[in-house]
Amino acid sequence: MFKKTFLILLVFLNFSCYEEYIVDGFVENESVLFASNNIKKSLNLLPSKSSISVKFKIDSLLSKENYIITSISKKHIIISAGDPIGLMYGGLELAEMITFKKQFPYLKTPIIGKPYIKQRGLKFNIPLDIRTPSYQDAGDSAQQNIAEMWDMDFWKAYLDMMARNRYNVLTLWNPHPFPSMIKLEEYPYVALDNVCGTSFPLDTDRIDEPNAKFIAGCGVSQEVLDNLLVLKEMTINEKITFWREVMSYAKNRGVDVYFITWNIWMNSLAPSGWYRSQENLKGNEGKYGINNDQTNPKTIAYLRQAVKEFILTYPDLAGIGLTAGENMEDRDDEFDREKWLWNTYGQGVEDAKKEQPEREVKFIHRYWQSDVGKMKADFIDKYPDKIDLSFKYARARMYATAKPQWANEYIEELKKYNLKSWWNIRNDDIFYFRWGNPTYTSAFIKNLPSEEFTAGYFMGSDGYVWGREFISKHPKQPRELEIDKHWYNFMLWGRMGYNPNLSNDLILGMLAEKYPNVNVEELQKVWVTASEIPSLVTKFHWNSWDFMWAVEGCLDLRKGFHTVEDFINNPTMDFTGVLSIPAYLKRIQTNNPVATNETTPLQLADVLEAKATMVLDFTEKQQIVDVSSSYSELLYDLKAWAYMGNYYANKIRGAFYLETYKQGLGLENKEKSIKSLETALKMWKLYAEAASRNYKPQFLAKTRTIDWNALTKDVEKDIEIVKNGH
């Protein structure tokens, strides 16, 4: 409990700073110190030389993370909060006000901060090592970021940005992180020294997919292990010290750290190239007899011990989580999914709590390939601490609609069993271009299920690592963090989780600080318009899961480029009112009118083109002085969105006219289709030019390489399909 006392920070013009923080004695609080340092930096910008003061105090009447900023006079502000993190948030907001207004504020009415969603998180698939990869680490972003995961400067910058953006949860996802993070007396050869990559060329094939050549994600192949590269020399003891420091730093920024796994993936502990459907299952054992066999007692015993040691090794670990199913069999015996998970993870937590009974280990149990009733009976009801479920709220397409509908039946299950859920908000749409739409973000957050069912949310990707960027043609030194490059996007999803009614004046202040001498009101409108383009395309060309579609490249993992014929046959997104080409033509043929809440393919194409025109009108008026500046890069991202919109508008028209011709509704429609696709080709070339101005081609783990110039040949083939095929 906090004593009813004051934490006082006095900041004078000469920036001498005196702090006292009393919690059962005198201690220094790192969270408040972070905020005070931000205030001091903002005060450096002020021309005034008069002394001012800022006082922080704990108010026991305020809830966790709540704060109130009050002016006592024109030179004296008090920040009150229910806990040190609330004080930090209040201090960070004050620092922003000083920075944006270029003066010390006098508040006629207090500013009140109160979290709308209590737990606001990021999903980060973490490539710890090629021997302990995340779910699918074949992509360039994962391979380039392995060493970065062991750089404290990276995590300090990342966690500082999380705090500024009001994220308070970091979920780190890895199928089997333990060999890179703990040591076990009973399994001394499990622990991995050094941080390794591989010189073996990786691909998108996974061992759990048909005809896989080798494992590049959830498992580790012999080819990978035979071609290891040491990226950083570290002993397992140094690794443990490192992650203790990361978690301690996160705690001081108000961020709870969770590790979430997929099951069963023993990675480099299992025999190389092994997976559960292989022949001679039980005889194929790895280190200490461990493998991915669901009935193997040696694997169960090892994993139970690993979970226990993981918790005991990291005192600042807030929680763990798991996924049922990815590499597990459907069984109805003592080795079924939920019983297996309890005998490993559940009992591992219980073992740790026997040694540390006061320790709370929060738990996230994903709803995936399992059953809520079984989860509750075999795991949830037994768990000793706070436990919540998790659900893919927007499938893999968080930018498609601000009101997803897939959780409706699941919510009934939550209601039946009196449970709450984390909402997994998956971005497997956008990896290159900067996105920014405050209206969309606010609506999405407000449309999340009520607090009765919501434990929190975490936003992130499955086939992309948002670490440092490695594709810019104008890289900063050191290379920029993705969370900084995409600062507007990450800011919106964090800050609006805390306050979905975030002041637009504050947002404009951020834009003006980032892009000086720019009309930020106009920029904001154009950025919103550009960000609506991928959403519209995805609504028309709907594919639920990550490997099925990459809007930035018009391709997918398995078949590659999506042709004009794919744009005829592919379904549109349910519950959005967007009509597919066959559905619209059927309306025409049956004289069935289009409803006012429905959108035809040609209408959608017109909207895309109108939005693209608005964006290009803006970008063409802007002067680019420094080609490597953040604003210059933003303008080319906006151009890329616009030309992409024009490309898809004309491709949709080409597909519509092609299908109209095929159904015998006018021979002239073949020429209309060719003409539309020729325009689409021109737009694609302009798109490739704008996109390639900022970025190098990149191999994506879930959707192949996006190389816009190389893909031009596929765009040209669409014209040949119409000319020669029909």
pLDDT band at 13 (very low <50, low <70, confident <90, very high): very low
Q: What is the pLDDT of residue 209?
A: 39
The Cα 411–Cα 415 span in angstroms is 6
Amino acid identity of residue 137, one-letter, is D
Lowest mean pLDDT among 134-143, 199-208, 397-406, 692-701: 199-208
Q: What is the pLDDT of residue 9?
A: 42
The Cα 537–Cα 400 span in angstroms is 8
CA distances from 467 to 157, 484, 714 (A): 11, 10, 31
Report the DSSP beta bridge partners of residue 424: 392, 458
The residues near 408 (Cβ < 8 Å, ≥ 6 apart) are none
Structure tokens at 22: 């009393």
Q: What is the pLDDT of residue 20?
A: 33
Provide the angle, in degrees to the nearest 10, between the axes of the packed helices 504-514 and 487-498.
160
Amino acid identity of residue 313, one-letter, is T
CB atoms under 10 Å from CB of 98, counted, come to 23
pLDDT band at 278 (very low <50, low <70, confident <90, very high): very low
Lowest mean pLDDT among 26-40, 71-85, 295-309, 393-407: 26-40
Structure tokens at 31: 């969270």
Q: Tell me what the mean pLDDT of segment 430-446 comes to.
A: 98
Amino acid identity of residue 351, one-letter, is D
pLDDT band at 49 (very low <50, low <70, confident <90, very high): low
3-class SS at 706? strand
In this predicted model, which residue has the larger pLDDT, 407 or 24? 407
CA 355 to chain centre: 35
Q: What is the pLDDT of residue 628?
A: 79
Q: What is the pLDDT of residue 215?
A: 39
Q: Is the dihedral of CA 91, 96, 101, 103 positive or negative?
A: positive
Q: Which domains does the chain have, with CATH numbers?
A: 6-113 (3.30.379.10), 120-502 (3.20.20), 522-725 (1.20.120)
User: Can you give the three-state secondary structure of 449-465, one letter per residue?
Assistant: CCCCCEEEEEEECCCCC
Report the DSSP beta bridge partners of residue 19: 9
Provide the angle, in degrees to the nearest 10, between the axes of the packed helices 668-694 and 708-725.
170
Helix, strand and coil in the chain, % to nearest 5 = 45, 15, 40
DSSP-derived secondary structure letter, 150: G
Q: What is the pLDDT of residue 201?
A: 85
Judge whether 171 and 260 are in contact, CB under 8 Å: yes
pTM: 0.94
Q: What is the pLDDT of residue 14?
A: 34
Q: What is the pLDDT of residue 52?
A: 84
Q: What is the pLDDT of residue 284?
A: 60
Structure tokens at 169: 């949860």
Q: Tell me what the mean pLDDT of segment 615-635 comes to.
A: 91
Taking every pair of C-alpha atoms in the chain, what is the biggest distance, in angstroms? 86
Judge whether 393 and 361 are in contact, CB under 8 Å: no
Backbone angles phi, psi at 366, to 5 degrees: -65, 140
DSSP 169-213: EEEEE-S--GGGT--BTTBTTTS--SEEEESSPP-S--TTSTT--
CA 713 to chain centre: 32
Q: Tell me what the mean pLDDT of segment 499-520 comes to.
A: 96
CA distances from 168 to 32, 122, 501 (A): 15, 9, 19
- pLDDT tens digits, one per residue of 561-598: 999 999 999 999 999 999 999 999 999 999 999 999 99
Q: Tell me what the mean pLDDT of segment 469-488 comes to.
A: 96
Lowest mean pLDDT among 285-289, 335-339, 462-466, 647-651: 285-289
Q: What is the pLDDT of residue 368?
A: 86
Q: What is the pLDDT of residue 624?
A: 79
CA-based nearest residue to 724, from 607, 603, 564 = 564
Judge whether 162 and 170 are in contact, CB under 8 Å: yes
CB atoms under 10 Å from CB of 537, counted, come to 24
3-class SS at 86? helix
Q: Tell me what the mean pLDDT of segment 406-427 comes to.
A: 97
The residues near 128 (Cβ < 8 Å, ≥ 6 apart) are 134, 146, 149, 174, 177, 180, 181, 195
Q: Tell me what the mean pLDDT of segment 6-12 comes to.
A: 40
* Helix (H), strand (E) at residue 669: helix 668-694
Q: Tell me what the mean pLDDT of segment 387-416 comes to.
A: 96
Q: What is the pLDDT of residue 397?
A: 97
pLDDT band at 204 (very low <50, low <70, confident <90, very high): low
The Cα 207–Cα 273 span in angstroms is 7
Lowest mean pLDDT among 43-57, 380-394, 507-521, 647-661: 43-57
